[in-house]
């Protein structure tokens, strides 16, 4: 069987200096040909990328920010050409890379559906046969004849995904753009992508959601600094990725923090109790959260420290607040100065599956913020069979699953 997509030695170079060249004197013009171009003027986003994709395969593309994932997908989607190498595609490609990609702002939602279908090479009749499904999935029926420029980014995303998924291209390419949508729509999209793969169509999926990658993609490719680090079974590739520091949440440059600033949290890390880095946890799992901090200014004038964090739903509903004084633990000045992280161990985590947001606060004398940040970290909770191996209840039943037993007397 021939691959539906062959990626052969793809490299992509960008010039870092985009300004126009200055006017040159005659002497400069003569000598410029003998001067070597400085390597710092060039940046290789991809270097010698090669792999094959076969019909019906679903492949995850993972890696840290800046690894080259989006550049690769733009080349595969023919948005930008490679500097070196070639791509052989044996089928129609539909891609969803950025909100609004392939859409015209002045056209209505209805007109954009037909425009996208035409770009994919479909006839008007073929587009009409899928039109009702696309509109129903997108949920924008009321605004179908409104110009796209009046759509919110979420509405544009809904329509774009509906078009890409329902017009039945042989190859579907999806970037992290799904993160723009709300949790319910993300779930709907992932379900649809599962249907697409089960129908035998080919999917390339870029995501930082390792749970979604594991569920959808038996095979994955790990990129780092524009090169393929590992290719193979998703579980092995994801494990390798999670062992790297790339999943530590770096927040040292966040500008929305509050507090006096003597100490700031620079990064947050999720670990199992063996200190192995993980990107998500299971309902009922025991794990720990590490808050890495840095002392920025003199703290000798401070005495009592309290560090706490809270968990809330994606709708902002608070679930709990926990801090060191609940466990009768005191953080002293000498300990703060000589250490570098706060670590909290959480046992038998009772929160149901979903995405949750973590806020944290470091306080002086319980009331004065030293460092406070909202939405500092997104915690993903996955299904896990616990409490006598029972199945998880649906999220509509609530956020918590308690450990209890029943009897009839």
CA 199 – CA 196 distance, rounded (Å): 5
In 3-state terms, the chain is what percent helix, strand and coil (to 5)? 30, 35, 35
293: CATH:
2.70.50.60
Q: Based on the fold, state whether residues 254 and 236 are members of the same structural domain.
A: no
- Tokens encoding 211: 């749970």
Nearest in space to 352 (alpha carbons), one of 390, 321, 304:
390
**Number of neighbouring beta carbons within 10 Å of residue 293:** 20
- Determine, yes or no, domain membership for 35: no
**Any domain includes 22:** no
Query: Which of 206, 231, 246 represents a domain boundary (last residue)?
Result: 246
Residue of 321, 301, 300, 305 whose CA lies nearest to 265: 305
Whether the CB-CB separation of 61 and 206 falls below 8 Å is answered with yes
Structure tokens at 166: 């329902």
pLDDT at 392: 61
In the chain, DSSP finds a helix count (H) and a strand count (E) of 9, 18
Write the CATH number for 57: 3.40.50.300
Indicate the SS3 state at residue 70. helix
> Do both 62 and 174 map to the same domain?
yes
CA 294 vs. chain centroid, Å, equals 27
| Residue 38: predicted pLDDT | 47
232-245 pLDDT, tens digit per residue, is 999 888 878 766 64
Decide the pairing of beta strands 263-272 and 249-250. antiparallel
Which residue's structure tokens are 């706060």? 342
Q: Please check the confidence at residue 28 and state whether its pLDDT lies above 70.
A: no
- Specify if 132 maps to a domain: yes
Enclosing H/E stretch for 43: strand 42-53
Asked if 171 and 85 sit in the same domain, the reply is yes
Three-point CA angle 23, 27, 31, nearest 5°: 95
Q: Last residue of a domain, which of 246, 271, 301?
A: 246
Residue 85 within any structural domain of the chain? yes
Answer yes or no: is 287 within a domain. yes
Share of the chain above pLDDT 90, in %: 26
Q: How many CA atoms lie within 13 A of 194 on its CB side?
A: 11
pLDDT, average across residues 54-72: 87
**Taking residues 234-257, what's their average pLDDT?**
76
Q: What is the pTM of this model?
A: 0.59
The whole-number average pLDDT for the span 92-114 is: 81
Where is pLDDT greater, at 11 or 249?
Answer: 11
125-129 average pLDDT score: 88
DSSP 258: B
pLDDT-derived band of residue 82, with 50, 70 and 90 as boundaries? Answer: very high
Rank 4-13, 95-104, 190-199, 353-362 by mean pLDDT and report only the highest.
Answer: 4-13
The reported pLDDT for the residue numbered 79 is 84
Q: Which of the listed ranges 160-164, 255-259, 308-312 does the model predict with the highest average pLDDT?
A: 308-312
The stretch 37-47 carries a mean pLDDT of 73
Average pLDDT, the chain: 82
pLDDT tier at 246, thresholds 50, 70, 90: very low
Q: How confident is the model at residue 50 (pLDDT cuts 50, 70, 90)?
A: very high
Same domain, 255 and 161: no
Residue 327 is assigned to a structural domain of this protein: yes
Write down the pLDDT at residue 268.
93
Domain end point (choices 228, 246, 264) = 246
| pLDDT over 70 at 314, yes or no | no
pLDDT at residue 208 is higher than 60: yes
Same domain membership, residue 239 and residue 260 = no
Residue 20 lies in a domain: no
Across 332-359, average pLDDT: 86
Same domain? For 242 and 255 the reply is: no
Higher pLDDT, 176 or 321: 321
Count up the domains in the chain and report the number.
Answer: 2
* C-alpha distance across the termini of the chain, in Å: 65
Residues 235 and 374 in one domain: no
293, 233: one domain: no
Question: Looking at the domain assignment, is residue 294 inside a domain?
Answer: yes
**Four-point Cα dihedral 184, 212, 62, 276, nearest 10:** 110
Cα gap 189→92, rounded to integer Å: 20
Answer yes or no: do 142 and 275 share one domain: no
Is residue 205 over pLDDT 80? Answer: yes
* Contact predicate 121/92, CB 8 Å: yes
Q: What's residue 108's pLDDT?
A: 92
For residue 400, what is the DSSP state?
Answer: B
Judge if 176 and 271 occupy the same domain. no
Out of 76-85, 196-205, 220-229, 283-292, least confident range: 196-205
Task: Please report the pLDDT score of residue 118 as a whole number.
Answer: 82
Same domain, 168 and 304: no
Whether residues 95 and 242 share a domain: the answer is yes
Range of the domain at 381: 249-397
Asked if residue 76 lies in contact with residue 204, where contact means CB atoms within 8 angstroms, the answer is yes
What is the CB-side half-sphere exposure of residue 284 using CA atoms within 13 A?
14
- The DSSP line for 90-104 is -S-EEEE-STTTT--
Distance CA 360, CA 377 (A): 9
């Amino acid at each position: 069987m021939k691959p539906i997509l062959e990626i052969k030695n793809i490299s992509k170079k960008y010039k870092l200096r985009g300004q126009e060249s200055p006017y040159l004197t005659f002497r400069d013009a003569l000598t410029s040909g003998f001067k070597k171009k400085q390597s710092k003027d060039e940046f290789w986003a991809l270097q010698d990328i090669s792999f094959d994709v076969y019909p019906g395969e679903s492949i995850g593309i993972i890696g840290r920010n800046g690894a080259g994932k989006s550049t690769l997908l733009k080349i595969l989607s023919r948005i930008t050409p490679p500097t070196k190498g070639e791509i052989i595609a044996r089928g129609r490609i539909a891609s969803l890379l950025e909100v609004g990609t392939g859409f015209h702002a002045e056209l209505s939602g209805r007109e954009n559906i037909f425009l996208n279908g035409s770009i994919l090479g479909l006839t008007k009749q073929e587009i009409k046969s899928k039109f009702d499904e696309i509109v129903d999935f997108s949920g924008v029926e009321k605004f179908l004849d409104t110009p796209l420029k009046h759509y919110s980014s979420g509405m544009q995303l809904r329509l774009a995904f509906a078009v890409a998924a329902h017009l039945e291209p042989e190859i579907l390419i999806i970037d992290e753009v799904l993160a723009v949508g709300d949790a319910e729509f993300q779930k709907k999209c992932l379900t649809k992508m599962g249907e697409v793969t089960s129908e035998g169509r080919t999917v390339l999926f870029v995501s930082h959601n390792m749970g979604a990658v594991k569920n959808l993609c038996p095979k994955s490719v790990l990129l780092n600094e524009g090169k393929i680090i590992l290719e193979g079974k998703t579980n092995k590739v994801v494990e390798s990725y999670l062992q790297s520091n790339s999943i530590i949440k770096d927040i040292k440059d966040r500008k929305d923090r509050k507090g006096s600033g003597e100490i700031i949290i620079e990064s947050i890390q999720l670990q199992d109790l063996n200190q192995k880095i993980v990107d998500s946890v299971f309902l009922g799992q025991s794990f720990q959260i590490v808050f890495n901090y840095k002392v920025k200014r003199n703290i000798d004038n401070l005495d009592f420290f309290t560090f706490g964090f809270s968990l809330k739903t994606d709708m902002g509903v608070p679930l709990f607040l926990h801090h060191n004084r609940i466990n009768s633990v005191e953080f002293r000045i000498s300990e703060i100065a000589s250490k570098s992280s706060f670590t909290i161990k959480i046992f038998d985590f009772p929160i149901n599956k979903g995405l949750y947001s973590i806020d944290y606060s470091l306080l002086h004398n319980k009331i004065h913020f030293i460092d406070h940040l909202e939405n500092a970290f997104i915690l993903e909770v996955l299904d896990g069979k616990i409490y006598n191996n029972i199945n998880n209840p649906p999220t509509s039943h609530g956020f918590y699953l308690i450990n209890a037993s029943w009897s009839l007397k």
